[in-house]
């Protein structure tokens, strides 16, 4: 899993399929989900990234993706296909993520 920042988030969305996890530094559920994602064998052609919303310097990301302001449950996940948001959900769970990803593989 890639930890994205102000310099790397834009390139991340250029992947054919990208699964983005939003979290915060002090979120225990986010950390648990991160551990699960780091152990997951990522399918070919899929990028998995994480943005910690309380990291300084992400203003451009939040402006470009105004839907982020409506996220009220963390961790929050979004699947993008060719840069377009296709699926979003709150919480963790590898099986849930695999079911959602399989629709686009």
pLDDT of residue 91: 96
Q: What is the gyration radius of the CA atoms in the chain, in angstroms?
A: 13
Note down the domain range covering 41.
2-102
In terms of Cα–Cα distance, which of 37, 23, 15, 22 is closest to 84?
Answer: 15
Q: 64 with 85: CB under 8 angstroms?
A: no
HSE-up (13 A, CA, CB side) for residue 104: 24
pLDDT of residue 90: 97
Mean pLDDT by runs of 10 across the 105 residues of the chain is 94 94 97 96 94 94 94 97 96 95 94
pLDDT of residue 35: 96
pLDDT of residue 51: 98
Count of the separate structural domains present in the chain:
1
3-state helix/strand/coil string of 6-55:
CCCHHHHCCCCEEEEEEECCCCHHHHHHHHHHHHCCCCCCEEEEEEECCC
- Which CATH number is 49's domain given? 3.40.30.10
Q: 95 with 84: CB under 8 angstroms?
A: no
pLDDT of residue 63: 93
């Amino acid at each position: 899993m890639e930890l994205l920042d102000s310099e790397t988030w834009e390139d991340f969305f250029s992947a054919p399929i990208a699964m983005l996890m939003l979290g915060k530094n002090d979120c225990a559920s986010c950390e648990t989900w991160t551990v699960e994602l780091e152990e997951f064998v990522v399918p070919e052609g899929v990028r998995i990234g994480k943005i910690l919303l309380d990291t300084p310097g992400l203003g451009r990301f939040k402006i470009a993706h105004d839907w982020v302001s409506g996220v009220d449950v963390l961790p929050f996940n979004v699947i993008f296909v060719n840069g377009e948001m296709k699926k979003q959900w709150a919480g963790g769970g590898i099986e849930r993520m695999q079911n959602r990803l399989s629709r686009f593989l």
